[in-house]
Amino acid sequence: MTCVDDLNVFDAGTVVTPEMIKEKGLAKQVVDGIKILGEGNLEKNVTVQAHKFSKTAIEKIEQAGGKAEVI
């Protein structure tokens, strides 16, 4: 599980993949893929590819100008 706040380490415009999340050590727990939670604030427009998103995470990603893509 990863929080939207953790995604601020990526540059604006980046397509963030599960592999990138793992490489940065942002995946706190990987059971059935990567899940993005809505804790914190996202300050950059990034496209996030993950297996699951909380409703709040999707809202915060879209508010920052990004996209949430379920893979």
Residues 1-57: tens digit of each pLDDT? 889 999 999 999 999 999 999 999 998 667 788 999 999 999 999 999 999 999 999
H or E, element range at 13: none
Taking the CA atoms of 34, 58, 2 and 9 in sequence, report the sign of the dihedral they define.
positive
Asked if residue 40 lies in contact with residue 3, where contact means CB atoms within 8 angstroms, the answer is yes
Beta strands in 1-71 (DSSP E): 2-3, 15-16, 35-37, 47-50, 52-53, 67-70
